[in-house]
A and B are shown apart, each in its own frame.
Chain A
């Protein structure tokens, strides 16, 4: 163990030459949080007895799923044990990035706050598609890459094979790939030394107006919004007024400081430093990731580049199972939005499901996480409609509609429909090339290219409609590759496609919750599948109920739920009466949970079964 660092430079008075800002790019389960834990211990910022696993992951869901949703930054003092700068205490700012494709924009802002990154890869698994995508992002940002193989203590580790792979990707020698075990701590000191040696110190103009980039923004119920920034130029000082450059809004700096890893107030933050600030705003949308902060007086004229408004890509209708919980759902969404600038929603009414919200998400994981939090933290029981993407519909008369809910897809003469497309990157063992290409071809994919990462692993790139990915693509990919393939995608624009809306009718009434926009070649299969399923799930009624799938007024599939002919207990004598009355009470309860669609009683279970089968198939991490 190294001695506790001495002469630790203090915030606002740290020489930029001693600062190293870095992040860790890793796939889920490749050991990023464990590595962070070891670094906290080695640098002495967390005492041994306070240590717990995944120290930096705060939300239950993060810890349970082993993924990081919100990032953080920790200031670590480190005096290298050898080489240049030996025994001189440096400041290492470790910026923890979100690990998922849905949060690519947030990842890109975290990367923009760093000069270098640790590329952490499981020595038994090799690099995964998301990691590769983030690696490319880091390279585009001119970050210094330190390739590291983790878990080399595992019996299944193949350090030679994967060193080769990483070396090819990063453009270095296999011997330059560090080998560590975050679990045992082996090699972590050497890694910290490499961070000091290889990652460039930040460069900025100290006497210019302050410019700090927001790379994260977190709502805390006690302190309001905590904003994480990286100072590029100048200095931010406590108690001065600051301005958000995208909106022009000004705030007083109530507190400024660093995390070690708990929040610690300071006098200010100087060039190259990373820390937090608190202004008293109550909503993260007032402190947006990517925005530039400057002083109110004589502030900077030009913001830092790269700011974007988060744009929802996937929509789903969320409805409380019990209609009386609608106000609770609104309140819960309001609360979640405090901490999630990308979450958008507006009220909508479904004839079938009642009052609810159309909610926009960055992607499927975002959807999953929000839904799970609503159910777990707020105790709500929800029905979610199948996720859909945003369509742009141009009518023959030139008018344009933006459709976020399939049931609102316009009727009438449509000229063109545009759907979002993504560039998908799939990494897999080469034996699965055939089945992956078949899957992508079936999902209207266009092959962009293919490269071998190593002898038996390939990177395949496709352009795919986002709608096809939203619908059970990931599960199909996993099952066709026995779980070996990994997927990443990024939005690349839109394309015109032959899309139609399929409506489902019960006894002639449209069930808005089941409307879907599909490619015209897939409409028939969708219609047949849903109609058959509903016939199975809806109990027989007092009258015959036709179940139809239709495109406009053209019926493409039909089933019939025959009228019930017998609903009577044959025997009802003395000893049956109590039982019969209790059965009646139970049936009355069941009836309350029926939703009326026109004159047809549909059990809530039928909605859940139909909607969740789509949703469940597309569930991914």
Chain B
């Protein structure tokens, strides 16, 4: 999934060679390393989307550098070479690769394979590496999928969102109902072991039954992973404007809660179990390891405009515009726009807020005394699970998952 909000944080500047402070690489060998590759192109922009993505196929930088769909893979490869220099003699092979967007499958499959090849030659891929790409149901066919699979991709994630035409219309999704389910079969036929379907609930105009139908269609297609997200109406999107004008109704938080309960019930009945607030998998092997790197504070390098990276307590993010991004790389500079060095307390807080979202939860040993007494309170209110608690872990119950942010606010005390 895309680590790319529309607004970049404030931070200190990134050195032009992208160099990291020495401490960031200390004990690196103990942590897995992943790569996120961002493809900032879409055929059309969806009304709810605030990601860093562009519908123009050619974008230029301030001094004329060109980022286009045709040469975009070359820019990514350039940044991978920069990563090699910055990480120096770091011996780690790449454990996970995730290509997200935008719409990665707007690029030829050969380009995606070529970028993966650059990672393989610069860093090497771990033998059991997870290599995922997101895909739009309308932009792939069996040949494309086969080419990806043969090029080394072993996991694919389709943006299904809904099985209902009227819901897809509000979301501006162009695919026809049924197509994502067909994609799962095509991916299986092409040899993908792991297939995900992304769903969105709480779209204005969606009913409980529409949502059940979407879940049933997704389950019926036979993926081993489902992600289900409450629709977030982001400021500045077309959808936010339509809601403000009263053209479509805003969905109530209580409806979101009901839909979440429906999702968990139907998915559990179909053999999926939750392993993160918005993610379910049929087996442990079906979990998305790449996303787990984010949630467990591992190292990852995000390549592409606006992409975020994290290595050993240093977070940085690239310039947003593809033209400016290409310009930096052409000039031999790091495309990094800003970074922050996390304090020990920042890292503790991040661990709590991220790990609490996971089925394994947060070790109680991370909490201070106020946090611990809050945890006891949540236990008695039924937001934390008593079993794991007795073994020293704060793990959310079903109701707790819906209130996770409130729980985090008190646990970090």
Determine if B2 and A584 form an interchain contact, defined as CB atoms under 8 angstroms apart. no
Residues of B close to A581: CB separation below 8 A: 346, 349-350, 353
A566 touches B302 (CB 8 A): no
A568 — which chain B residues lie within 8 A by C-beta? 277, 401-405
Q: Does B109 contact A (CB under 8 A)?
A: no
Please state if B409 and A564 are interface contacts (CB–CB under 8 Å).
Answer: no
When the two chains form the complex, which single residue of A562, A569, A575, A578 contacts B2, counting CB atoms closer than 8 Å?
A575
A574 with B408: CB separation less than 8 A: no
CA distance A40 to B340 in the complex (A): 66
Cβ of B1 within 8 Å of any chain A Cβ, yes or no, is yes
Partner of A566, one of B278, B306, B403: B403
Query: Is A576 at the interface (CB under 8 A from chain B)?
Result: yes
Are B353 and A575 in contact, with the CB atoms below 8 A?
no
Any B CB within 8 A of the CB of A591:
yes
List chain B residues, Cβ under 8 A from A573. 1-3, 291, 294
Q: Quick one: CB contact mask for A551-570 with B, threshold 8 Å, 1 for yes?
A: 00000000000101111111
29 contacts between A and B (CB under 8 A): A542-B383, A564-B253, A564-B403, A565-B257, A566-B230, A566-B256, A566-B260, A567-B402, A568-B402, A568-B403, A569-B405, A570-B230, A573-B2, A573-B3, A574-B308, A575-B2, A575-B3, A575-B302, A575-B306, A575-B317, A577-B354, A578-B9, A578-B308, A578-B340, A580-B353, A581-B346, A584-B349, A584-B412, A588-B412
B5–A574 contact, CB under 8 A? Answer: no
> Complex: how many Å from CA A565 to CA B401?
10
Nearest A-chain residue to B306, judged by Cβ: A575
Within 8 A of B (CB), among A564-600: 564-582, 584, 587-588, 591
Quick one: closest A residue to B100, CB to CB?
A573
A540 to chain B: closest CB distance in Å? Answer: 8
Measured CB to CB, the nearest residue on chain B to A541 is: B406
A170 CA / B253 CA spacing, docked (Å): 69
Known: A566-B403, A584-B409. 17 other contacts (CB 8 A): A566-B402, A567-B402, A568-B404, A570-B229, A570-B230, A571-B278, A572-B353, A574-B3, A574-B302, A574-B309, A575-B4, A575-B308, A577-B315, A578-B11, A578-B308, A584-B349, A591-B409
Using Cβ atoms and an 8 Å threshold, which residues of chain B touch A542? 381, 383, 403, 406
* Chain A residues whose C-beta falls within 8 Å of the C-beta of B408 in the assembled complex: 584
Contact B257 A571 (CB under 8 A): no
Q: Are B315 and A578 closer than 8 Å at their CB atoms?
A: yes
> CB within 8 Å of B: which residues of A?
542, 562, 564-582, 584, 587-588, 591
Q: Is B232 an interface residue (CB 8 A)?
A: yes
A567 touches B340 (CB 8 A): no
In angstroms, Cα B350 to Cα A569, docked, is 14
Distance in Å: Cβ of B195 to nearest Cβ of chain A: 19
State A421–B114 Cα separation when bound (angstroms): 90
The contact string, 1 if C-beta is below 8 Å from chain A, for chain B 1-36, is: 111110101010000000000000000000000001
Rank and list the top 9 A-B pairs by shortest CB-CB distance, nearest first. Answer: A574-B3, A575-B3, A565-B257, A575-B308, A570-B229, A568-B404, A566-B257, A570-B230, A567-B406
Q: Does B173 contact A (CB under 8 A)?
A: no
Asked if B5 contacts A575 (CB within 8 A), the reply is yes
How many residues on B have C-beta within 8 angstroms of the other chain's C-beta atoms?
Answer: 49
A574: contacting residue among B36, B340, B353, CB under 8 A: B36
CA of A574 to CA of B311 in the docked complex: distance in angstroms? 12
Residue positions of B touching A, CB distance < 8 A: 1-5, 7, 9, 11, 36, 229-230, 232, 253-254, 256-257, 260, 277-278, 291, 294-295, 300, 302, 306-310, 315, 317, 340, 346, 349-350, 353-354, 357, 381, 383, 401-406, 408-409, 412
Complex Cα–Cα for A572 and B1 (A): 10
- A residues near B401, Cβ cutoff 8 Å: 568
Interchain CA distance A579-B317 in the complex, whole Å: 12
Check A588–B409 contact: CB distance below 8 A: yes
Interface class of chain B by DSSP:
mixed
Query: Smallest distance from the beta carbon of A19 to chain B beta carbons, Å?
Result: 72
Selected contact of B404 from candidates A562, A567, A579, A591, CB within 8 Å: A567
Q: How far is the CA of A27 from the CA of B317 in the complex (A)?
A: 65
Q: Check A572–B354 contact: CB distance below 8 A.
A: yes
Q: A564–B278 contact, CB under 8 A?
A: no
Contact yes or no, A566 B254, CB < 8 A: yes
Contact of A570 with B278 at beta-carbon distance under 8 Å, contacts A564-B403, A575-B302, A584-B408 already known: yes
Query: Which residues on B sit within 8 Å (CB–CB) of A571?
Result: 1, 229, 232, 278
Contact assessment for A576 and B5 in the assembled complex, using a CB-CB cutoff below 8 Å: yes
Q: Are A579 and B232 in contact (CB under 8 A)?
A: no
Task: Tell me whether A576 and B232 are in contact in the complex, defined as CB-CB below 8 angstroms, given that A566-B254, A587-B409 are known contacts.
Answer: no
Closest beta carbon of chain B to A337's beta carbon, Å: 41
The answer to whether A575 touches B307, judged by C-beta atoms less than 8 angstroms apart, is yes
The closest CB in chain B to the CB of A568 belongs to B404
CA–CA, A72 and B307, complex, Å: 71
CB distance from B102 to the nearest CB of A (A): 13
- Find chain B residues with CB under 8 A from A574 CB: 3, 36, 294, 300, 302, 308-310
Q: Bound complex: CA of A565 vs CA of B383, how far in Å? A: 11
Does A565 lie within 8 Å of B302, measured CB to CB? no
Closest to B229 in A: A570
**In chain B, what residue has the closest Cβ to A572?**
B357
Across the interface, B406 reaches (CB within 8 A) one of A564, A570, A576, A582, namely A564
A580 to B404, alpha carbons, bound, how many Å? 13
User: How many angstroms between the C-alpha atoms of A578 and B346 in the bound complex?
Assistant: 10
For residue A576, which residues in chain B have a CB less than 8 angstroms away from its CB? 3, 5
Query: Which residues of chain A have C-beta atoms less than 8 A from B230's C-beta?
Result: 566, 570
- In the bound complex, CA of A573 to CA of B279 (Å): 12
Chain A positions within 8 Å of B383 at CB level: 542
From residue A590, how far is it (CB to closest CB) to chain B in Å? 10
Q: Which residue of B lies closest to A565 (CB)?
A: B257
A578 to B306, CA, bound (A): 14
List B contacts of A566 (CB < 8 A): 230, 253-254, 256-257, 260, 402-403
Q: In whole Å, how far is B389's beta carbon from the nearest beta carbon of chain A?
A: 18
Which of A562, A571, A579 has the most chain B CB atoms closer than 10 A to its own CB?
Answer: A571
Report the bound CA distance from A554 to B346 in whole Å: 51
- Give the CA-CA distance A580 to B352 in the complex, in Å: 12
Most chain B beta-carbon contacts within 10 A, residue among A566, A572, A580: A566
Q: How far is the CB of B91 from chain A (nearest CB, A)?
A: 23
Q: How far is the CB of B230 from chain A (nearest CB, A)?
A: 4
B310 surroundings in chain A (CB, below 8 A) = 574, 577
Question: B9–A582 contact, CB under 8 A?
Answer: yes
Task: Please give, as numbers and ranges, the residues of chain B lying within 8 Å of A579 by CB-CB distance.
Answer: 5, 7, 9
Distance in Å from the Cβ of B386 to the closest Cβ of chain A?
A: 18
Closest to A575 in B: B3
- Chain A residues, Cβ within 8 Å of B5: 575-576, 579
Q: Which residues of B contact A572 (CB under 8 A)?
A: 277, 294-295, 353-354, 357
Bound-state CA distance A565–B259 (Å) is 12
Residues of chain B within 8 A (CB-CB) of A565 are 253-254, 257, 402-403
For the complex, what is the distance from the CA of A567 to the CA of B381, rounded to whole Å?
Answer: 15
Nearest-CB residue, chain A, relative to B261: A565
Q: Shortest beta-carbon distance, A316 to chain B, in Å?
A: 34
Determine if B353 and A584 form an interchain contact, defined as CB atoms under 8 angstroms apart.
yes
Chain A residues within an 8 Å CB radius of B295: 572
**Cβ contact within 8 Å between A577 and B294:** yes
Once bound together, how far apart are the Cα atoms of A310 and B310, in whole Å? 70
Question: Is the Cβ of A570 less than 8 Å from the Cβ of B232?
Answer: yes
The complex places the Cα of A574 from the Cα of B299 at a distance, in Å, of 10
A273 CB to nearest B CB, Å: 69
Tell me the nearest residue of chain B to A574, going by C-beta. Answer: B3
Question: Closest residue of chain B to A576, judged by CB?
Answer: B5
Residue of A572, A576, A587 with most partner-chain B CB within 10 A: A572
B253 contacts which chain A residues (CB < 8 A)?
A: 564-566
The complex places the Cα of A582 from the Cα of B232 at a distance, in Å, of 18
Q: How many whole Å from B12's CB to the nearest CB in chain A?
A: 13
Query: In chain B, what residue has the closest Cβ to A583?
Result: B405
- Interchain CA distance A572-B3 in the complex, whole Å: 8
Residues of A within 8 A of B405 (CB): 567-569, 584, 587
Q: Of all chain A residues, which has the CB nearest B34? A: A574
A601 to chain B minimum Cβ distance, whole angstroms, is 11
Tell me the complex Cα distance, A493–B253, Å: 55
